Amino acid sequence: MRPTHERPGSRQEAAGAFSGSPHRRGLLLMDWIRQAEQDAPAPVCGFTGFLRQDPDAVTAGLTLEWSSGVVEGNVNRVKRLKRAMYGRASFELLRTRILIQP
């Protein structure tokens, strides 16, 4: 059930403005924030406050083609291996598993 103060479709419109797009839309960020502050539900309005704290970083993240995803994936893999081997094996085995695994 939708709250009475909410426009039909506004939640989907606010959430879907940037998702699923093959093109980067960082330049539209400030327009989206203004629209979300006027029309969107309270949780989305709260999220816009966080986006306003560092708009340059958010715009760069939405616009530039570079990503730290590969690095974050490797960090996640190393942490997973470390947790799985904690107290069971030596550092040398951990090092070997990290280096040989793709």
Per-residue pLDDT of 36-84, as tens digits, reads 888 888 888 888 888 889 888 888 888 888 878 888 999 999 999 999 8
- SS3 percent helix, strand, coil of the chain, rounded to 5, is 70, 0, 30
Residue percentage of the chain with pLDDT more than 70: 75
Owner of token pair 């190393």: 78
pTM equals: 0.47
Looking at per-residue pLDDT, the higher value among 9 and 82 belongs to 82
Q: What is the mean pLDDT of the chain?
A: 78
* pLDDT score of 4 more than 80: no
Q: Which of 60, 14, 64, 56 is nearest to 35 (CA)?
A: 14
pLDDT band at 21, cuts 50/70/90? low
Q: Mean pLDDT over residues 2-30, rounded?
A: 59
Q: Mean pLDDT over residues 11-22, rounded?
A: 56
At 87, phi and psi to the nearest 5? Answer: 75, 0
